[in-house]
Structures are given as C-alpha cells and as structure tokens.
Amino acid sequence: MDKDTLFNWIRETYGVEPDYPWFDDNAVVRHRSNKKWFGLVMTIPSSKVGLPTNENIDVLNIKLEPILISSLHHQKGFYPAYHMNKTSWITIDINSVAEYEIKMLLDMSYELTRKVKK
C-alpha cells in the first residue's frame, strides 16, 4: 500500500484529511470530533526502526492494545513505535504489510482513540 492509497482510504472511511503540522511530508490523521490522533504517516530512514539499511521507508504509527502490539512485533513489517509511546503505539512499514491488515489495524486505532474520557 502506498501513502496515496492509504490517504484515499482514510478519506473515504473516516471522512478526514491528513494534517501536516510540521510543514513537511509527515502527516497526522485525527478525529474530527476530539482531534485525537489515530495515525501518523512518515517517511523515515529504515535504520530508525532497527533495519540494517538506511533507505527511506513509509511507515504508519497507530495506537493498539499493548497485548496486540507485543504479538505483532514478531511479524515482518511491524516495529516498536518510532517517536511514540512503545507500549501503546506500533510502527508499520506500509509497503511490507498486507493492505487488509493495515486497514483492520487502523480501524482498531480509530476506535481506541475516539473514546472520550469522562
């Protein structure tokens, strides 16, 4: 899945546009109602997630339940969260994980972050 396909799916599914708070190519996707992030899309050097090369990769950070995060770390394309809380967030290489899996996990992140604390 490339970034354009991901952003188009996010627009169609959640009705939100990517937000570029740092005036670069790194984009946040957030809820319209509570402004909480449910995803962060970045292009980073692969060495930042522990890979032996330094080529740029497109990644998606999402929030998930910690038990799920620990099981995903054993699968190809999943890494401890880059620049986020590693207990609650995970980094996904969007070019090496199946599109259906990215969509399912992003939907989980959307649901987890849409709850308003009372």
Domains of the chain: 1-58 (3.90.1150.30)
CA 57 to chain centre: 13
Q: Is 84 exposed, middle or buried (0-12, 13-18, 19+ CB in 10 A)?
A: middle
pTM to 2 decimal places: 0.94
Rounded to an integer, the average pLDDT of 64-80 is: 96
Q: Where residue 62 falls among pLDDT bands split at 50, 70, 90?
A: very high
Contact call for residues 54 and 41 (beta carbons, < 8 A): no
**pLDDT on residue 23:** 87
Strand order in the sheet with 37-45: 27-30, 37-45, 56-63, 89-93, 78-80
